[in-house]
Structure 1
Amino acid sequence: MTPSPRPTRGLTLGRAFGARIVVQPSTLVMLVLLALLFATSGGVELDRRTFTIGLVLALLLFVSVFLHELAHAATARAFKRDVSEIVLTLWGGHTAYDARGLTPLVSGVTSASGPVANLVIAGLAWLPIATGLLEPSLVQWLSGSVTVYGIVAWLAWANLVLAAFNALPGIPMDGGRVLEAIVWAVTGNRFRGMIVAAWGGRVVAVGVLMVGLSVPYLQGRTPDLFDIGWSLLIVAILWPAATQALRVARALDKRSAVTARALAVGAVALPFSVSVADARAAASAAGADEVVVLGADGAAAGHFPVALTEAVEEAARPSTGLQSVTMPLPRGAAVPIDADGDALVDALQEWWGRTDVWIAVDEGAIVGVVRLADAMKALQ
């Protein structure tokens, strides 16, 4: 549930909470396949009536998935996050919202809202049955006439299953994101939470396979191709998603350790009017390897490594101005000394090719110089 880098292709049905509601073409394919599956369950012959009933059940399932995603969007908006898309896909859906400056609370509550919505739907569907408003006068599925009671009971059961499956503690399920948020809140390290949740996703994938193959034995039969196929299909979705999340988490964890402070070379800021000899003395006193040259207005206008002054003859240094060794620096080429990996990536995108260094500042004071090449190497 992160912002999409570009709009998702598909049929736009409207907007909700500021987000585009998008249905991908593959969703329509899955809708038909589910309708056929429901229509022929229990060995029932496929005809117009059974297919219509199967289509109704499939549509109810997709509406439940949509309401699940709508709950994510509504929760994100409640936390004052911009929501860009609500997308229904072949395997369900996803909601994209602004995740900048995310906190464990926002991430965990937003993720949990989807399964909670399905539990609410299941409860609302079961309420008229539990109170006797709907009587099971004819509880037969596709082998006979399907009653309103049967459809409502199926809706309650389907949403209960959706809630339970999405609550499983592993990425890519919502429960995995909740687990990530909990570990993040406890340890203070989001990426450690991602790693734990990604491993949870792998465990869930193996668990799904084991359950899918063991249930038929508990029912006194051998797993057929349908049992094996569905189990392997779910594993083929969950395992790669968890593995990819694990790779991303490890890479981002490494990136989070990269800061401007760790990369900065010590620097001393001097006015443009001083001589090379004065600059060398000031840098030596400060233990700095770089000199930042200040313009007439006091802003950083250039820089040079102290080693570059070796090219100036010693006798000429007291009378040589800094313009002979200074390399120009664009206005604004600066980063906070505590800038982390994500901030450095953004700065690289903005400044690469325009300057070779940034000025590192701490509460407005120049404290060092960060070379873009060093930042690029550390972030790779």
Structure 2
Amino acid sequence: MNRSVRMGRVLGVPLRIHWTVPLLLVLFGYSLGSQTLPAWVPGHSVGVYTIGGLAGALLLLVSLLAHEAAHAVTARRTGVTVQNVTLWALGGMTEMGKPRAAGAAFKIAVSGPLTSLLLGGATFGAGIGLHALTGWAMPAAVLLWLGWVNLLLGVFNLLPAAPLDGGRVVQAVMWWRTGDRYRAERAAARSGQVLGFLLIAVGWVSLLRGALGGLWLALIGFFVMIVANAERQHATLATALGGVRAADAMSSPVETCPDWLTVERVVNEEAMRARHSTLPLLDFEGRPSGMVHLPQLAKVPSPQRETLRVRDVATPMAQCGTCAPDDLLEDVLEKLTPRSGMTILVMDGRRLAGIITARDISRLAQRHALRGNGTG
């Protein structure tokens, strides 16, 4: 996720914190310290309520981290690569690869809600026990609140709509029963779109009636709808690309550019004849060394264009998306990262065989739809 900061590792997985996390702490800490705790445990000072609210918000953040860590650990145990875990204002997100089997997908999906439900039951019981044994009302109230929130988080995540974990569970079951992974993804995504719309509607009605919590509900609904829509589009695209090899989608021969040319020469000569907005670069030995996106060259200040080499502003080969001619295109797309972008260099050994751009992929999807096979 953009605008997040690396903050170490959790159980071997990189942890990132989004800039909205402090907003989460403030909102939940304020709500707990100014409303919930004074109603549950009256008669304390503002300072005590503030400390209790902050402690509860921090413990909630730890609970969210445990939820996502459960997904990450289960994914790694089932052979799925995990890039990172990110905490942000609406909860958490685990960036990982795609499970190769319905059973693995089910285990990964259900691990998060189960962790939240177990944490909810444990903290709720701890709050009751602490109050019974010691009479410490304030810590007990914080634990009871944390227990209720975790139980609510676990139940909410089990709703049968993607991108919620419940949607992933339904998707895994449908995949197992039908054998069609992308049909299951589309069905779960459609449920997510419906759920997102309902959350937005309920949230706005609550907000208009004076409940500020309705705004939070509407934001969650908006996020669910956006992600569900993206997942439905992805599943539709993956269906269109099913069985297509990289060699069948690539543009060849490829227009290339020597990486030792100056930016000025590339702008005046190479860019004028390029068919694509991305040019692969070749070194002195004729091997690919990276690729340059033509819009990047426009950002180079004019005084530097005559001396700066194009390889100095290009994406190096190590960060480019690459594949072999016989690789399945749907597998290649799943391995792409935001840094590599949608352009793929097709490599036949150390030789550049072709290039696949977003336009090539879109053209394949359009042909699939024209043949009447689209099911999106």
Settle same-fold status: TM greater than 0.5. yes
Contact 1:23 1:87 survives alignment (8 Å): yes
Shift of 1:69: 0.7
Q: Does residue 178 in structure 1 map to residue 169 in structure 2? A: yes
Q: Does residue 15 in structure 1 map to residue 9 in structure 2? A: yes
Percent identical residues: 27
Q: Matched residues in 2 for 1:26 and 1:223: separation?
A: 27
Structure 1: unaligned runs, 5 residues or longer = 139-144, 217-221, 264-332, 358-372
Shift of 1:110: 0.7
Q: Tell me which residue corresponds to 1:342.
A: 330
Q: Does residue 158 in structure 1 map to residue 149 in structure 2? A: yes
Q: Tell me which residue corresponds to 1:297.
A: none
Q: 1:225 to 1:151 in 2, by over 3 A?
A: closer
Q: Tell me which residue corresponds to 1:102.
A: 100
Q: Matched residues in 1 for 2:204 and 2:21: separation?
A: 27
Q: Does residue 188 in structure 1 map to residue 174 in structure 2? A: no
Q: 1:379 to 1:206 in 2, by over 3 A?
A: closer
Cα deviation code 1:82-118 (max 9, x no counterpart):
332121112111122333x622111221111000001
Q: Tell me which residue corresponds to 1:251.
A: 237
Q: Tell me which residue corresponds to 2:227.
A: 241
Q: Tell me which residue corresponds to 1:65.
A: 64
Shift of 1:341: 3.0
Q: Tell me which residue corresponds to 1:124.
A: 122
Q: Matched residues in 1 for 2:188 and 2:45: separation?
A: 42
Q: Matched residues in 2 for 1:59 and 1:348: separation?
A: 42
Shift of 1:16: 2.8
Q: Tell me which residue corresponds to 2:215.
A: 229
Aligned amino acid, residue 132 of structure 2: E
Aligned partner of residue 355 in structure 1, secondary structure: strand
Aligned partner of residue 67 in structure 2, secondary structure: helix
Aligned amino acid, residue 191 of structure 2: G
Cα deviation code 1:155-207 (max 9, x no counterpart):
21111001011111111211111122111122212111111111111222244
Aligned partner of residue 218 in structure 2, secondary structure: helix
Contact 1:18 1:82 survives alignment (8 Å): no
Q: Tell me which residue corresponds to 1:204.
A: 195
Aligned partner of residue 172 in structure 1, secondary structure: coil
Aligned amino acid, residue 230 of structure 1: W
- For normalisation by structure 2, the TM-score amounts to 0.62
Shift of 1:348: 5.6
- For normalisation by structure 1, the TM-score amounts to 0.61
Larger Rg: 1
Aligned amino acid, residue 116 of structure 2: N
Aligned amino acid, residue 105 of structure 1: G
Q: 1:257 to 1:118 in 2, by over 3 A?
A: same
Q: Which moved more, 1:197-206 or 1:157-166?
A: 197-206
Q: 1:155 to 1:356 in 2, by over 3 A?
A: closer
Q: Tell me which residue corresponds to 2:75.
A: 76
Q: Matched residues in 1 for 2:37 and 2:123: separation?
A: 27
Q: Matched residues in 1 for 2:45 and 2:197: separation?
A: 34
Aligned amino acid, residue 64 of structure 2: V
Aligned partner of residue 87 in structure 1, secondary structure: strand
Q: 1:355 to 1:185 in 2, by over 3 A?
A: same
Q: 1:374 to 1:206 in 2, by over 3 A?
A: closer
Q: 1:335 to 1:355 in 2, by over 3 A?
A: closer
Q: Does residue 112 in structure 1 map to residue 110 in structure 2? A: yes
| Residues matched between the structures, number | 276
